[in-house]
Structure 1
């Protein structure tokens, strides 16, 4: 068994051992989907959304996006900040195991959680609530991958700068909630002023949400959204690798 496999297995056990983390990661997106899905008319075709339901073109993509953002901006940097605070990263830096392996293991565990919960959201939505499947599967997958890369790169930058787990959680939350407001979560993008609609398509959370909304409805994501996610992924990862501190 390789070092990376052992580390990933260990990180997965740590993640699952804390009952709060899996419960929040799985519970909040599914609760959001079910609560809104059981409201009368939520799954009826609506001219506002091009004949698609609000559940398919707003709520389900929102649940997926919130899931990724919670993991990327709070769970992931908090874990790395806690390891730095406890001196684990310092000890790893002096061992034959490259500390980068721990970063990779953490990313793999969180990305696996994303895959599992996205599958649950799509499956439960389709089977229990009759939510239509994404109409543009290729565009949906592209938007999902780019969105995860963009948001996790921001989380990596937070983890690179935060000295403790508590600081990482605070910084992550300070980014998470404004992105919810400006990204089209609290108020749908169509109801925002024109300038803020462009802001929603540029911020990583908003770009992810609105690209998933478009592809779930069978449309193509906008190039601005895809470009913004790619730029955030490259820029934040580059900065994080330069400023990351192991101790």
Structure 2
């Protein structure tokens, strides 16, 4: 446990020393929330969103989801693949500290960053913009947990397959941007063609976003969304364990 704590502290310092990572993780979600939240009609009820304000029904959940997806699909797999590329994982395999501890430390750093920024988004949204707190906190927490696990399982699979950090970044982006388009980020799910609305509820990013939208509005998360997130989590972790290489 002491070795894991020290390694996690080192990974946290490296994460914070990289100016791009904190700015990306903190800046993009908060910028989305504040820029769209300051638009004139964002806090007015809109029939297109079931009588809820777009800020609560779409923008705040979207900020949280994009944060989780950036950490899971780009930053985390790129860091792990870079360690493989530079031989760090191989050297650890010959030391008393197993490489799995580095993987665990990286996961912990990213998960702590996700929790802190989610709390910051909710807090800033509430204090600065008057965003209502999630109406179904239990469902919101469940959606956050399942969404995080499902997205990080995809990121772990990317880390397992990518030979280099640059390749991991490319594969992660190739997964990230189509899921933005099909998951209801670029175009809200309600505005997608009917045959794509089902796709938005089963892809990990879309399932997370639309489940958070429902629970933020006080509704129960969709069963299809919860099942999709759970299935992606199980399949992604199983495939990552099958194909992951330390060298």
Show the counterpart of 2:224: 224
Matches within 5 A, 1:190-229: 190-229=190-229
Matches within 5 A, 1:135-174: 135-174=135-174
Structure 1 unpaired stretches of 5+: none
Show the counterpart of 1:8: 8
Show the counterpart of 1:242: 242
Show the counterpart of 1:112: 112
Task: Work out the number of aligned pairs and report it.
Answer: 247
Quick one: distance in 2 between partners of 1:124 and 1:15?
23
Following TM superposition, by how much is the alpha carbon of 1:53 offset from its aligned partner in structure 2, in angstroms? 0.7
Following TM superposition, by how much is the alpha carbon of 1:29 offset from its aligned partner in structure 2, in angstroms? 0.2
Following TM superposition, by how much is the alpha carbon of 1:214 offset from its aligned partner in structure 2, in angstroms? 0.4
SS in 1 for 2:201: helix
Following TM superposition, by how much is the alpha carbon of 1:97 offset from its aligned partner in structure 2, in angstroms? 1.1
Quick one: distance in 1 between partners of 2:38 and 2:135?
22
Following TM superposition, by how much is the alpha carbon of 1:194 offset from its aligned partner in structure 2, in angstroms? 1.5
Show the counterpart of 1:93: 93
Structure 2 residue 79 is matched with structure 1 residue 79: yes
Quick one: distance in 1 between partners of 2:36 and 2:192?
21
Following TM superposition, by how much is the alpha carbon of 1:51 offset from its aligned partner in structure 2, in angstroms? 2.3
| Structure 1 segments of 4+ aligned residues over 4 angstroms from their partners | none
Quick one: distance in 2 between partners of 1:162 and 1:47?
45
Quick one: distance in 2 between partners of 1:98 and 1:202?
35
Q: Once the two structures are superposed, what CA deviation does each residue of 1:54-112 show, in whole Å capped at 9, x if it has no partner? A: 00010000000000000000000000011001100000111111111111110000000
Show the counterpart of 1:123: 123
Matches within 5 A, 1:23-42: 23-42=23-42
Quick one: distance in 1 between partners of 2:48 and 2:175?
30
Quick one: distance in 1 between partners of 2:13 and 2:164?
22
Quick one: distance in 2 between partners of 1:113 and 1:57?
24
RMSD of aligned alpha carbons: 0.8
User: TM-score, normalised to structure 2's length?
Assistant: 0.99
Quick one: distance in 1 between partners of 2:226 and 2:104?
24
Following TM superposition, by how much is the alpha carbon of 1:47 offset from its aligned partner in structure 2, in angstroms? 2.3
Q: Once the two structures are superposed, what CA deviation does each residue of 1:210-242 show, in whole Å capped at 9, x if it has no partner? A: 000000000011110000000000111011011
Following TM superposition, by how much is the alpha carbon of 1:183 offset from its aligned partner in structure 2, in angstroms? 0.4
Quick one: distance in 2 between partners of 1:243 and 1:233?
16
Following TM superposition, by how much is the alpha carbon of 1:50 offset from its aligned partner in structure 2, in angstroms? 2.4
Structure 2 unpaired stretches of 5+: none
